[in-house]
């Protein structure tokens, strides 16, 4: 289903609390939601955010994907949002309509997604924080700017942000995470994962797994 969500921008993006993947909006605020049923563990969540957005992804014990956003007409205009099932899993996509004539967009909204505990994530976002918790799978993609937070995740990671802190904890990962500038912090992280920041030299590494 394609909804002509009038979204005026992607400049200001809500930071999202990670630990419980709580929604970044207050009760009573306008929300839109979708539920995609009968997905299979091990499928993929494909996130394509041409508008940018604050993004939080958390695992739950259901074979379905839930998507919720605090979009409203006053927050965002001139955008389209699509949530649909695909042969590989679920697609969440935001974009600006062609020929809108708008050069500068300004937007502040968040998206919260719940997926089965074993699920891959593919991300491409114009900007905004990325938070993933409790999921096992492959996590790949980029955001134009914003912090990356990973908690209680397992698998392989290839994530990059144009700028913003990286915080990973209670996780077992292989792969790489990078930021154009910002603090990098690992807490109780195992596996071959490394992280790099453009603001200082050196690489942060996870601990080797015990055998």
Pairing between β-strand 203-205 and β-strand 194-197 as defined by DSSP bridges: antiparallel
pLDDT digit string (tens) for 150-191? Answer: 999 999 999 999 999 999 999 999 999 999 999 999 999 999
pLDDT digit string (tens) for 23-41? Answer: 554 555 557 899 999 999 9
**Residue 210 belongs to some domain of the structure:** no
Which residue range(s) make up the domain with 134? Answer: 2-98+105-205
**Residue 211 belongs to some domain of the structure:** no
**Residue 16 belongs to some domain of the structure:** yes
| Residue 47: predicted pLDDT | 97
**Residue 124 belongs to some domain of the structure:** yes
**Residue 130 belongs to some domain of the structure:** yes
Q: How many CB atoms lie within 10 A of CB 48?
A: 17
| Residue 31: predicted pLDDT | 78
**Residue 71 belongs to some domain of the structure:** yes
Q: Name the domain count of the chain.
A: 1
**Residue 176 belongs to some domain of the structure:** yes
CA-to-CA separations, 120 to 24, 117, 136, in angstroms, rounded: 23, 10, 7
The answer to whether residue 129 scores a pLDDT higher than 70 is: yes
Candidates 115, 24, 121, 36; CA nearest to 71 is 24
Residue 21 confidence class, pLDDT cut points 50, 70, 90: very low
**Residue 145 belongs to some domain of the structure:** yes
């Amino acid at each position: 289903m394609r909804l002509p969500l009038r979204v005026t921008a992607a400049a200001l993006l809500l930071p999202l609390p990670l630990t419980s993947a709580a929604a970044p909006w207050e009760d009573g605020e306008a929300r839109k939601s979708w539920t995609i049923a009968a997905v299979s563990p091990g499928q993929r969540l494909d996130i394509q955010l041409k508008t940018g957005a604050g993004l939080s992804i958390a695992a739950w014990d259901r074979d379905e994907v839930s998507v919720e956003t605090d979009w409203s007409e006053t927050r965002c205009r001139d955008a389209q949002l699509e949530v649909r099932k695909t042969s590989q899993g679920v697609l969440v996509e935001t974009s600006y309509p062609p020929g809108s004539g708008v050069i500068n967009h300004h937007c502040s909204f968040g998206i919260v997604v719940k997926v089965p505990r074993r699920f891959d994530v593919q991300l491409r976002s114009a900007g905004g924080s990325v938070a993933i918790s409790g999921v096992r799978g492959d996590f790949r993609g980029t955001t134009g700017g914003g912090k990356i937070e990973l908690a209680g995740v397992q698998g392989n990671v290839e994530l990059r942000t144009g700028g913003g802190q990286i915080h990973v904890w209670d996780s077992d990962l292989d792969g790489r995470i990078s930021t154009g500038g910002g603090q990098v912090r690992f807490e109780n992280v195992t596996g071959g994962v490394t992280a790099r920041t453009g603001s200082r030299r050196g690489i942060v590494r996870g601990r080797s797994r015990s055998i």
